Chains A and B, each alone.
Chain A
């Protein structure tokens, strides 16, 4: 952290000393390579300027310079904590653009895998967020549960993170009885664990004092910045792509969209915990009603992308993920734009953080659940 001092003369006369402090790019509470240039007056934050781009890997350029199939592993490397929604979005876009129909069983397997990934991502966030607040214990419980999800996903997709599991027209592997029973066993375990989290975190007085009425995002402000996901739903707007524009097999399942009432850090925490329960609900329904049949549609060996443009949105763990494709008739996209939810959510912090105490600003930043490689791409 570098510290520089500048003095500014205010209208009333006295000189206020304003500190400029760098948080990051390698700071534990920024979860990646985010740099915040923070103007401080004592412990109070006057201004925040996020500096991004340290993890830029030219993913969009890569998509434009090679056949579309070759971009498949890239989709898993933007949001490393919850990559399956990205892959789901990309492949659904290509399938819709080329008119490939996905068998119902494959759609169900995709939904189960995505929801498991969402639970893993929220558990990771929960542990890391509480670590930001100075609580060390919960992350151990979270990682214990997350390990179970990762084991299931590893058996299914072959990797613990950065899964490359979905394929054009379907998925790579089927969920057999053994895997289904493992998922059911995990659901039983996870449902019993929420009471532990409530005792450990939700009802904890220190946690409540650190998060209640801290970092309040009003619905208007959330709309202005284009916030999505739990950040938007924490502010009381029930917008979920799975409900608003049902894609894949989400039309078949009944689930609630949890919302907060005040829009503070505590509400965003509650929304995410409730979302994990809703994800379990979706997985349960999907396992029960899983249709028999193929897991992969027969597709031609070479698929060209017809000229035209198209976009597709899915609900990631952090918000709305959108892929926008412009194709010119070859097998290489002319342009592929990725809309990452974290970029919009990060922008909130500039306005939100002004006038806050430094420790509250860190709590607010943690509650936004940012994955920086997704912003930098």
Chain B
């Protein structure tokens, strides 16, 4: 009986201590934000899907359509159609990224010999169809997204 009463008192005290924690949180600043209206700053190191980089001087893509990223991609989600300019340099006429298969490992960006790929900052990319998840990075880059 004595043990029961001690346990009752101690147990009650432990519950009150827990409630104290909750009460303090009740009057503290909220840690969440109402998402669509307010957004948290993104981490500088965030890695979105790969995108083509432009040469700041000429405005053209630095990609030389060598196909290294296409070969090294673990998910085989990159498909490049190369073309040649009149002067004979290769450039990507089409650079398709199948985002349904991309695992964002970053190997393509890493292996590019001319640093022609970078990570985008876009993270919310809902699509209505599966086909819409296949991005052509050449036209997507031109859209500025």
List residues of A whose CB falls within 8 A of some B CB.
66, 69-74, 77, 137, 141, 144, 147, 151, 154-159, 162, 164, 167, 172-173, 196, 199-201, 203-206
Contact = CB atoms under 8 A, between A and B. Distances in A.
Question: Which of B17, B18, B31, B75 has its CB near the most chain A CB atoms (within 10 A)?
Answer: B18
B55 interface: no
A69 B110 contact: no
Interface residues of B, number: 28
Interface string B1-39: 000000100111011011011100100000100000000
Contacts of B94: none
Contacts of B22: 137, 200
B145 to A, nearest CB: 19
Given A156-B45, A199-B17, A199-B21, 8 more contacts: A71-B74, A73-B74, A73-B103, A155-B45, A172-B106, A200-B18, A200-B21, A205-B11
Given A203-B14, A205-B15, A155 B107 contact: no
Nearest to B41: A151
Contacts, number: 72
Given A69-B74, A71-B74, A72-B107, A204 B43 contact: no
29 contacts: A66-B74, A69-B72, A69-B107, A71-B74, A72-B105, A77-B103, A137-B18, A137-B22, A154-B45, A155-B45, A157-B45, A159-B47, A162-B104, A164-B105, A164-B106, A164-B107, A167-B110, A172-B110, A173-B45, A196-B21, A199-B17, A200-B21, A203-B18, A204-B15, A204-B18, A205-B7, A205-B11, A205-B15, A206-B11
A73 B45 contact: no
Given A72-B107, A158-B119, A203 B45 contact: no
Interface of B: 7, 10-12, 14-15, 17-18, 20-22, 25, 31, 43-47, 72, 74-75, 103-107, 110, 119
A72 B14 CA distance: 47
A144 B21 CA distance: 14
Nearest to B16: A199
B139 to A, nearest CB: 25
A151 B105 contact: no
B112 to A, nearest CB: 14
Contacts of B107: 69, 72, 164
